Amino acid sequence: MNDFSAEAMGQVIREHRQSQTPPMTQEQLAEKAEYGKGGAVSISRIEHGHISPGEHRLAAIALALHMTPGQLEQQAEDRTRSLARERGQRPVKLREQVADTKRRHAAITERAAQRSKITREHAEAFNNVHDVVRDEFFMKFVELARSISGAPEPAQPENEALRDSNEIPTAIRIQAMSAGIAHAIRGAATGGAAGAVVGGAAAYGTFAAAAMLGTASTGTAISTLTGAAATNAALAVLGGGTLATGGAGMAGGALLLTGMVAAPLAALAAAGFYVVKQRRTQREEQRLRAEVEVAEAALDQSQQGFDTMIDVLHRATDIMRYVEVHGTHALEKWRMCLPPGPRHWASLEHGAQERYKDFLTVAGSFLATSLINVPALLTAESDDLRSMDRGIDETLRYADKTIKSIV
């Protein structure tokens, strides 16, 4: 994982931005790095050390600054070591120690507050567009598909594909999820439980569960095809902003974040009396400094996971927005081409039949993106985080490419 701190990377980026001729503004860097609307806020957060850019963002920033990602990373590593040496030089006089601890106390409190704010902003952005896609694309497709009788069984993952790999490829997972959705649609069309509520969060949860927990032709539970980043527990991610039936939702990342730093921050709050005291003893100073160091360590240890989480939420939100604009439009065009109901598969033109299959794939890709266990990134150990990041990156890349190739 990274050997540099977010603070060090932010300082290096700011210095190179300001050293351009003429000096580059945050808005200009954001535009050159293709951050899109409001990108200057992201650059500001990076430069203040609240967040470190992911691999793709770092490459874009480096290019805008006429550097390579490796050069930025090396300079950030050097700056990280320099900052550590500076902070290791503890002031001698008690008055100077008190001032230094107060500064660090204020910095760590602000850092935690900013992290929570950033998490909530990204989680809410994802949830908002996700819910639109759920209602305007996913459930509307389900309703149309239910009106078509005699649709063929969707292709199932091959037995060999399931046996030959412990980490099931993303294409196989999405194929399995699409099959699960199709089976749930067939069940709903014949009066099954999935048809109890059409539209809205509750019905969506039924179809999501069918996709995750259904069985492939081999008898292998689809839930086992989802890899380390999206296990059965990922169903809980559908809560909050995405399912009214419970769970923390993507915004649960903010709650998890609060839980991760709650203990050290509570200790800091309890020690607030000592922070505002004009005078405090050497023992009081040592106690507060130790609590500040615990809080700093808690945030440092989770920084990589936090950065990864924000990058994943941003990329997933972009995928959702694409489906919101293009997927819903394509679905409406398909609806207009369908014959009046009730409909039978044989009555559909070949193009309409192919679009049905296409939309099943988009629906599976949409669910695969939705079910990424984002909050788990915050608590993952270094090796697990690296593995999860690879799996999530593969899912997002495949879903993005597949959806854009269809709609």
Sorted by where each starts, the structural domains of the chain and their CATH numbers stand as: 1-89 (1.10.260.40), 113-254+303-406 (no CATH)
> What are the start-end ranges of the H helices in 48-154?
55-64, 69-88, 94-133, 139-146
pLDDT at 396: 92
Q: What is the rounded CA–CA span in Å between residue 262 and residue 267?
A: 8
Digit-coded pLDDT (tens) for 293-311: 888 888 888 888 888 888 8
pLDDT at 294: 80
> Poorest-confidence range of 164-178, 184-198, 249-263, 342-356?
249-263
Q: Is the dihedral angle over the CA atoms 194, 195, 198, 202 positive or is it negative? A: negative
Q: What is the rounded CA–CA span in Å between residue 147 and residue 135?
A: 17
> Poorest-confidence range of 295-304, 326-335, 356-365?
295-304
Mean pLDDT of 105-126: 84
pLDDT at 310: 87
pLDDT at 193: 45
pLDDT at 289: 82
* Confidence check: pLDDT of 254 > 50: no
pLDDT at 65: 95
The 3-state DSSP class for residue 227 equals coil
Of 190, 174, 207, 152, residue with least CA distance to 353: 152
Q: What is the number of helices (H) and of strands (E) in the chain?
A: 16, 2
Question: Between these two residues, 396 and 217, which has the higher pLDDT value?
Answer: 396
Cβ–Cβ < 8 Å for 40, 343 = no
Residues 5-35 as b or e (16 or more Cβ within 10 Å = b): bbbbbbbbbbebbeeeeeebebebbbbbbeb
* Confidence check: pLDDT of 163 > 60: no
Of 153, 243, 128, 240, residue with least CA distance to 197: 243
Mean pLDDT of 328-349: 92
Q: What is the largest CA-CA distance in the chain?
A: 87
pTM of the full structure = 0.78
Residues 6 or more apart whose Cβ sits within 8 Å of residue 402: 174, 361, 362, 365
Q: Helix axis angle, 170-189 relative to 200-213, nearest 10°? A: 120
Q: What is the rounded CA–CA span in Å between residue 8 and residue 10?
A: 5
Cβ–Cβ < 8 Å for 80, 3 = yes
Give residue 221's Cα distance to chain centre.
25
